[in-house]
A = this chain, B = another copy of it.
Amino acid sequence: MNQSNCIVAQSGGPTVAINASLAGVISGVMNSSEYDICYGSINGILGILNENYLNLTDIFSDEDNLQKLKTTPAMYLGSCRHKLPDYKDDDSPYVFIFHQFDKLGIKAFFYIGGNDSMDTVLKLSDYAKKINSPVKIIGIPKTIDNDLCMTDHTPGFGSAAKYIASSMLEIAHDTFIYAVKSVTIVEIMGRDAGWLTAAAALARNEYNTAPQFIYLPEVNFDKDKFISDIKNALTTTNNVIVAVSEGIHDADGSYITSSESVADQFGHQQLSGAGKALEFIVKENIGVKVRSVEINVLQRCASHLASLTDIEESFAQGQKGVELAAAGITASMVCLKRTSNDPYTVEYTYSAIKDIANEARSVPREWINEDGNDICPPLIEYLTPLIQGEVPVVYKNGLPDYMDVSHLHKNQ
């Protein structure tokens, strides 16, 4: 085969923007003289191991489809949570994958994902180097957690932040209506990094001071301090709202949670219940009306409320990945550099994957107040541009009109 093709896959947890990056890759390939067909691998790296592909160049030759893909939540190509072994221990999956690359005429591999997916990019890059493969290996970032290093912020984060801030504002309206003292605990995703929870602060405006408190995993949670925070606030306002990360923990590193936790394949703890735990603390120690609300999976899949800034940047980062591979770059991830905050401007760059994979970026301590119960103005300035702009949603019969993903059922 003399064709010069490429292949793209998606991995990790869903976001509202990961299909925008996929659309960017497809658009980049269509506009490139370097590549012919853009294949899609179904269910991440597993699609290559199972020889399960789509011809994306065919499917998205229709511009309307590409536009619809940009605003469809979660992964059009499906996902996986599959950790490749170290090739020194077991090179069989690598042999198979690079054989598939040969067979399909693949000259570039694009993997759209978060920290765990960048581990796969690093391992494939190392193996490619070892066997002197000319295939370019490029990571395209994606994570609502905003915890990838070497980039200003990650695709998917801005939309999740916009959803969280809007929801917080709507919950505040829901809370103001009764003239009785009440505490509302809002639990937000974020195991190790508090970026998403911090975004709740964007709901504050000329009539709304909620959330009055924000607790992030970057600061050890102190139960007694929390009780006194709430008691103090209730002396000046009826309705106290608290934003809390699912991953808050005490000084010993124990999660503040009311349910058991189990380790997943990557050794992470699966958490639930920080919100419920704080609800119980208020109930037992303060005795006012209290409820907890978990901002559920919709914070990562509510495409009906995406940030236009996020969707456009995600698309551009997909295109940038293709551009980098075509220019001979490999073993790298597309990065964003913020060049100005007001007016907000960014540059599209890249960094070596070895500096990114298996690292994580937390909220800097100096962006959290001394008391550890709120965030500081520079973090507000960092967050604000990321939620700007709305994506026009097409509705059909009263519901958002998304891409048909029935191909994901076919293996079932």
| Chain B residues, Cβ within 8 Å of A78 | 176-179
Q: Chain B residues with Cβ under 8 A from A397's Cβ?
A: 384, 388
Distance, CA A203 to CA B72, complexed state (A):
15
Q: Write the residues of chain A forming the contact surface with B, with a CB cutoff of 8 angstroms.
A: 14, 43, 46, 72-75, 78-81, 162, 165-167, 169-171, 173-174, 176-179, 202-203, 205-207, 236-239, 293-298, 300-305, 307, 384, 387-390, 393, 395, 397-400, 402, 404-406, 408-409, 411-412
Check A176 against B388 for contact (C-beta < 8 Å): no
The complex places the Cα of A378 from the Cα of B101 at a distance, in Å, of 52
CA–CA, A398 and B14, complex, Å: 22
Smallest beta-carbon distance A128→chain B, Å: 26
Contacts A43-B179, A388-B398; is A207 near B405 (CB within 8 Å)?
yes
Q: A384-B397, A388-B397 are in contact. Are A179 and B74 (CB under 8 A)?
A: no
Q: Which residue of B lies closest to A46 (CB)?
A: B179
Name the one of B162, B174, B294, B304 contacting A300, with C-beta atoms under 8 angstroms: B174
Name A170's contact: one of B73, B205, B412 (CB within 8 Å): B73
Is A178 a contact partner of B384 (Cβ separation < 8 A)? Answer: no
Q: Are B80 and A170 in contact (CB under 8 A)?
A: no
Please measure, in the bound complex, the distance between the C-alpha atom of A174 and the C-alpha atom of B400, giving whole angstroms: 15
Whether A402 and B298, one on each chain, are in contact in the complex, defined by CB atoms closer than 8 angstroms, is no
Quick check: B399 and A387 within 8 Å, CB to CB?
A: yes
Chain multiplicity (copies): 2
B residues within 8 A CB of A395?
390
Tell me, in angstroms, the Cα distance from A239 to B405 when the chains sit together: 13
Some 6 contacts from A to B, beta carbons below 8 A apart, are A162-B398, A165-B399, A179-B412, A387-B398, A388-B397, A389-B398
Q: How far is the CA of A372 from the CA of B263 in the complex (A)?
A: 37
Specify which chain B residues have a CB less than 8 angstroms from the CB of A81 in the assembled complex: 178
Q: How far is the CA of A294 from the CA of B295 in the complex (A)?
A: 9
Chain B residue at minimum C-beta to C-beta distance from A396? B205
Task: Decide yes or no: A412 and B237 within 8 Å by CB, A46-B179, A398-B389 being known contacts.
Answer: yes
Known: A73-B174, A170-B303, A174-B301. 20 other contacts (CB 8 A): A14-B174, A46-B179, A74-B174, A74-B176, A75-B177, A78-B176, A78-B177, A78-B179, A170-B302, A170-B400, A171-B301, A173-B301, A174-B300, A202-B399, A206-B406, A294-B294, A294-B296, A304-B304, A384-B398, A389-B398
Report A35 CB to chain B, min CB distance, Å: 26
How far apart are the CA atoms of A88 and B176 in the complex, in Å? 34
| Chain B residues, Cβ within 8 Å of A176 | 74, 78, 405, 408-409
Contact residues in B for A75 (Cβ distance below 8 Å): 177
Residue pair B304, A170 in contact (C-beta under 8 Å): yes
Tell me the complex Cα distance, A390–B305, Å. 13
Are B80 and A173 within 8 A (Cβ)? no
A-B pairs with lowest CB-CB distance, top 10: A387-B398, A207-B406, A79-B177, A74-B173, A207-B404, A174-B301, A238-B412, A170-B301, A75-B177, A176-B408
Nearest-neighbor residue (CB-CB) of A236 within chain B: B412
Q: Tell me the complex Cα distance, A304–B205, Å.
A: 17
